[in-house]
Structure 1
Amino acid sequence: MASRHSWWLLRTARPPVRIWWGCRASHSGAGVALKREYDAVVIGAGHNGLVAAAYLQKGGLKTAVLEKRHIVGGAAVTEEIIPGFRFSRASYLLSLLRPQIYSELELKKHGLKVLPRDPYSFVPLLKDGQCGKGPHSLLMGNNMVDTQSQIAQFSEKDAEAFPKYEAFMSRLVSAIDPLLDACPVDMAMFSHGSLLQKLRALQGLKPLVRAGFTLGKQLPQYYQVLTAPISKILDFWFESEPLKAMLATDGVIGAMLSPHTPGSGYVLLHHVMGQLEGRQGAWGYVTGGMGALSQTLARAATTHGAEIFTEKAVDQILSSKGKVQGVRLQDGTEVKSRLVLSNASPQLTFLELTPQEQLPLEFVQRISQFDTRSPVTKINVAVDRLPNFLAAPNTRDGRPLPHHQCSIHLNCEDMQTLHQAFEEASHGRPSSRPMIEMCIPSALDPTLAPPGCHVVSLFTQYTPYTLAGGKPWGHHEREDFANRVFDCIEAYAPGFKASVIGRDVLTPPDLEQIFGLPGGNIFHGAMSLDQLYFARPAPFYSSYRSPIQGLYLCGSGAHPGGGVMGAVGRNAARVALEDFKKL
């Protein structure tokens, strides 16, 4: 990696954005010093912050982005942790990024390349197959006939039901999709504004009303999907455990939930809302890793004139008489601005960066109680050969097979296994048989690793933030859990442990410390029904605005929540631009 006082260059298919360490940024090739005044300041260069900056600058506001790390992207970064191996260190797949952002910010023109995956899901099983054959597996892709054939290994009934289930979920996604790009109803304005303001606030109900009409008489069934445990939903549709467990992973991934927890159905929906290359629900790898996406967003923002500065940690949001005045950096520098948009979590924004006396007591209490529990430990692994699964052996030449490009679900034979893993973590114990989602992006993007080698992403759960008895994670506990994960993989793919060159283990406290994810939560806060839409991050403050005029939340703690979606950044910027015109 480059020294601290040189240009940071991320190797991608396109020339990277040049971002000056510490004191300078560039949008035209020449260094530009941080000014002491802007129209808008964005705190944090995560993907939402970069999206917000692009729209603010495009809307005519002189905008600066201030990032505390040496690298832009937040959790969407590519880092060379092990020499020669470039990892999407935190987030690792793309699907949810809003199509409007693709087109309006011309991301393809700025170099974004995404590698769709087909097939997309692989579930190897430990148990022997029928008639004395070896362990079998479930492989699912875009070809419905082939997918039904795979499902039929376990249940002919499920194979027949699967297309109907897909159509059912697709209709719900179509109904809810417009809500992602709209500001929730401004309940504060509706409650306390003038008659005209109340009427304007009611305009926000249009997407909800349209969603109801789209769902029609099936609305009660869809309501159940949003509120019931995912296990109940899947039990209605299917009978085979491997299929149900695989689908259930999208209902609990990144969330401290069991498949039997009410509301886990919405988390499933959140993960099938995206699209890739026009295909709904598809996921893919970004060429060059997730950092290449962030570089593309930064390029879009700087092309319009935004200025991005790394190693510029904000110490305090400045305000006076209920209005934002700008920010003060940790080095004491003050940057004045009429708008401040925070890509940081609600807790960091309002409990650490904002003077408490400037905020209503009830608001502070709501933010303090925002649920940020996370079950996730991310492990990045460098290997010298592909995993060789008993259920789908490698070929002699060692080249990637179709299942290597998938999300590979391990310890997902049945939903009870997932529930047991959750139960253990709920009592402060890392799961003895954790849920593992393995991805091997180098199977489609060989530039990420040396020839013959691969990068492996292990998204594992369940691990508590604090261990039983209030004990913090230490080196021994971290390594012990990683070894447990590797033992599980070894059972499915003997030889995996011997292939490991190096690893990077990130527990919930690590994810919080490095990436600013509160509690290690990849969504900045639980995607539970009590923390969505009107109530995200707090009732009466779901419209990206805050109690301080000119201060907005543009990170995943606001509607519509987490994932590499960009909707929060786009929506918040549009609200801020509208308000700026009234200043």
Structure 2
Amino acid sequence: MAFLFRERHREGAEYDYPLGGSQALVDALVRGVRKFGGSVTLRAPVERFLVEDGRVAGVRLADGRELRARRKVVTNASVWDTMRLLPPPGEGGELDAAIAAARAHVLGGDGEGAPACGSFMHLHVGIDAAGLPEDLGIHHMVVRNWDLGVEGDLNVFNISIPSALDPSLAPPGKHVVHIYGAANEPYEEWAHLERGSEEYERKKAEKGEILWAALEKAIPDVRERAEVAMVGTPLTQQRFVGRCNGTYGPAADVTQRNLYGDDLLPGPDTGIAGLMAVGDSCFPGIGVPAAAGSGFYVANTLAGVGQQRELLREGIGANV
């Protein structure tokens, strides 16, 4: 991220935005996967990793289907959720020992465990854009108290208005707005609540009010403009993103340590035969660019440079 910020602010730098937003990038990746014989399966949560011959060999889906890997299983789940997907002891030998060691290291059996960031509150709003300045801008930041810092509870908020750059993301004359407090909402305050209960809805409205107040710093009359509004909580993050405790990610420098084991180099290695990791729980860490970088790491591990060049030639016709 430090490198990206430096590049973004150097003289003559340009900041590109994909038309169609992040969904356009997802669609392009899916096209690439399918073009080369792969498949993408949606609404198919993984229930358990399958183990065969002393290694992780595939996954069992919640609907009972089993998918097997030819070379490696790659987990994009958080390090804590990956532990949940591993089978109980029973295979014996080195695999059982490796799984037990990883669980102890991640969950705290041999110490404090892998530290986690807090969760976050979200507010998604669809608003009437009439009369708003054309230079509204896509990104804004609101800090309630500079003395509390980034980790202060609901203290720092990021605001994104993607339709300010790409009108196709909202109906004509409208804007879509997203505001969230990254990693500054304690999951513990929500863990005992049941989604949809009176107490849950009351707390959601109470915390949502703080988001509205922060959003008014960028758009003072946003409540009057709002036509659609949805508040998300740590339980929302836990349910729909599948993140343990709705966490924002690990509270550790994964460029310096491997959360699966201190004897492992930072990177995709889990210490468990047949299983590699990508995502924000491993090197380089939290954030879209960093998580994408972890994918590059695994790709470079599994496919040599020559093979990648051939795929590029075939895919885009480039002379690489």
Bin the TM-score by the shorter chain: 0.7 to 0.9
- Residue 381 (1) aligns with residue 125 (2): yes
1:364 aligned counterpart, secondary structure: helix
Query: What stretches of structure 1 of length at least 5 have no aligned partner?
Result: 1-95, 97-168, 174-270, 387-397, 426-430
Match of 1:511, SS state, is: helix
CA distance 1:439–1:575, change in 2 (3 Å): same
| Distance (Å, rounded) in 2 between the aligned partners of 1:469 and 1:451 | 40
Task: Specify which of 100, 107, 114 is matched with residue 361 of structure 1.
Answer: 100
Who is 2:147 aligned against? Answer: 416
CA RMSD after TM alignment: 3.1
Q: Which residue, 255, 276, 287 being the options, matches 1:532?
A: 255
The secondary structure found in structure 1 opposite 2:121 is strand
Q: Is 1:437 the equivalent of 2:158? A: yes
CA offset at residue 508 of structure 1? 2.1
Correspondent of 2:211 among 470, 477, 485: 485
**Residue 501 of structure 1: CA displacement?**
0.9
1:458 paired with 2:184, answer: no
On the 8 A contact 2:127/2:227 being kept in 1, the answer is yes
Q: Contact 1:366–1:538 (CA<8 Å) still a contact in 2?
A: yes
Among 270, 273, 288, the alignment partner of 1:546 is 270
Q: Distance in 2 between matches of 1:520 and 1:283?
A: 30
Instruction: Give me the whole-angstrom Cα distance separating, in 1, the residues matched to 2:191 and 2:31.
Output: 47
Say which of 321, 343, 367 aligns to 2:76.
343
**Letter matched to residue 239 of structure 2:** Q
Residues 23-64 of structure 1 show CA distances to partners (whole Å, capped at 9, x for unaligned) of xxxxxxxxxxxxxxxxxxxxxxxxxxxxxxxxxxxxxxxxxx
CA–CA distance in structure 2, aligned partners of residues 450 and 469 of structure 1: 37
C-alpha displacement of 1:468? 8.2
Q: Which stretch of structure 1 is more off in the superposition, 458-467 or 567-576? A: 458-467
Instruction: Report the CA distance between 1:435 and its aligned residue.
Output: 2.1
* Relative contact order higher in (CA < 8 Å, ≥ 6 apart): 1
Are 1:562 and 2:294 counterparts?
A: no
Could you tell me which residue of structure 2 aligns to residue 328 of structure 1? 60
Q: What is the alpha-carbon distance in structure 2 between the residues aligned to residue 279 and residue 516 of structure 1?
A: 40
8 Å contact 1:439–1:457 — kept in the other structure?
A: yes
Shift of 1:418: 3.8
Q: Identify if the C-alpha distance between structure 1 residues 485 and 543 changes in structure 2 by more than 3 Å, giving closer, same or farther.
A: closer
Q: Contact 2:137/2:165 (CA < 8 Å) preserved in 1? A: yes
Structure 1 residues 303 and 385: CA distance shift in structure 2, 3 A: same
Contact 2:47–2:85 under 8 Å retained in 1: yes
2:225 aligned with 1:499, yes or no? yes
CA deviation after TM superposition for structure 1 residue 375, in Å? 4.2
Q: Distance in 2 between matches of 1:521 and 1:276?
A: 30
2:314 aligned residue: none
Structure 1 residue aligned with 2:189: 467
Gaps (5+ residues) in structure 2?
90-95, 108-112, 308-320
Give the one of 29, 34, 42 matched to 1:302. Answer: 34
> Does the aligned pair in 1 maintain the 2:268–2:298 contact within 8 Å?
yes
- Kindly tell me: are residues 552 and 445 of structure 1, through their superposed partners in 2, closer, same or farther at Cα, counting changes over 3 Å? same
Q: Aligned with 1:555: secondary structure?
A: coil
More helix by share: 1
Paired amino acid for 2:240: I
Residue type of the alignment partner of 2:114? F
Say whether residues 1:401 and 2:126 are aligned partners.
Answer: no
Q: TM-score, normalised by structure 2?
A: 0.77
Q: 1:273 to 1:510 in 2, by over 3 A?
A: farther
Q: Which whole-Å CA distance do the structure 2 matches of 1:370 and 1:489 have between them?
A: 33
Query: In the TM superposition, what are the counterparts of 1:17-28 in structure 2 within 5 Å?
Result: none
Measured after TM superposition, the shift of residue 381 of structure 1 is: 0.7
State the secondary structure of the residue aligned to 2:276.
Answer: strand
Shift in alpha-carbon separation, 1:466–1:340, aligned structure 2, 3 A: same
- One-letter amino acid matched to 2:286: G
Q: Hey, what does 1:314 align to over in structure 2?
A: 46
* The 10-residue stretch of structure 1 (564-573 or 333-342) with the greater mean CA deviation from structure 2: 333-342
Residue pairs, 1:150-229, within 5 angstroms: 173=3
Is 1:380–1:456's contact at 8 Å kept on the other side of the alignment?
yes
Runs of 4+ in structure 1 over 6 Å off: 276-280
1:352 partner SS: helix
Once residues 303 and 281 of structure 2 are traced to their aligned partners in structure 1, the CA distance between those partners, rounded to angstroms, is: 20
Decide whether aligned partners of structure 1 residues 495 and 360 sit closer, same or farther in structure 2, where only a CA change above 3 A counts.
closer
Q: Which residue of 2 aligns with 1:164?
A: none
Q: Does 1:574 align with 2:289?
A: no
8 Å contact kept, 1:443–1:454: yes
Kindly indicate whether the alpha-carbon contact (under 8 Å) linking 1:400 and 1:443 is maintained by their aligned counterparts in 2.
no
Query: What is the alpha-carbon distance in structure 1 between the residues aligned to residue 18 and residue 141 of structure 2?
Result: 20
1:284 Cα deviation from its structure 2 partner: 5.1
CA distance in 2, matches of 1:315, 1:469: 22
Does the CA contact (< 8 Å) of 2:126 and 2:226 recur in 1? yes
Aligned to 2:22: 290
CA distance 1:274–1:370, shift in 2 (3 Å): farther
Rg: which structure is higher?
1
1:272 aligns with 2:5: yes
